[in-house]
Structures are given as structure tokens and as C-alpha cells.
Structure 1
Amino acid sequence: MDWLTAYYGLFVRVGLYLLIFWPTVGYYVYRDSTKRGLSSPKLRGVVYGVFGILGLLVYLAQKQREKTDSA
């Protein structure tokens, strides 16, 4: 069995997902954290970036909640 096609290409799909969404989400979170003056923007970018789209949704929900709490 070829490792690229094992489990219907699961490894390829996960690899592409991480390759595309990890850096994109991580950079967005890092840049936004730096603008807002939050602590550890690099660590935030890496942690939220690992979770990809889910990490982005959680980050945006927390950002929105902070915005409504301060208003």
C-alpha cells in the first residue's frame, strides 16, 4: 500500500491542511495580538495556528467577547 493513498489520502489531506491554514491563522493571530498589545503574541499565533480554522473561530469569538465586555 502506498503511504500517500493510505486511508484515502488522509496523510496528504492533513498535511495540506496544516501547510495552508497553520501559517495563515498563526500569522493573523500574531499580527492582531501585536496590534492589541496582548502578551506572548508568538505563542498565541502558534497555538491558535495549530488548530487552523477551529483556532481562528475560537480566537475571533474571544475577541468579540472581550469587545462586548469592555463596552
Structure 2
Amino acid sequence: MTSTGEFNKDQSQIIWTVAGDDSRNKRTGSESISTSETSISISGSAYVRDNSDAGKALLDGFKTKCGK
């Protein structure tokens, strides 16, 4: 199970409602966020959609680097 949360009214924070099972995804409480057209930043860590151009570029780079 992954962590699940909701944005506050002005979308400046995410309030985590379900903590994920995987320690890499386990989040609790609330964290500050900022968004752009291509990414979301949660407490300073940037994330992109894996099906976006930026996400595909990151995944392709990772596959190339790790595939060697």
C-alpha cells in the first residue's frame, strides 16, 4: 500500500491520511508542497509523473544507467 494524502485548501500542504507499508513511501502528518506544470515538490524532494515527458526522460536515463 502506498501513502495517501489530501491537499489543504490553498494547496500549500499535503495532509497524509494513510501511511504506506513500504518504508520508502511511509509518510505521516503534513508536509509543505509546491507544484509546477511538470512536477510536485514535497518537503524539498521533487517528483514527476512517470508518464510525463520529464518522467519518461528520467526513467529512460535510469534504465540506461542501470542496464549496463
TM-score by length of 2: 0.31
Greater share of strand residues, 1 or 2? 2
Greater share of helix residues, 1 or 2? 1
TM-score by length of 1: 0.29
Rg comparison, structure with higher value: 1
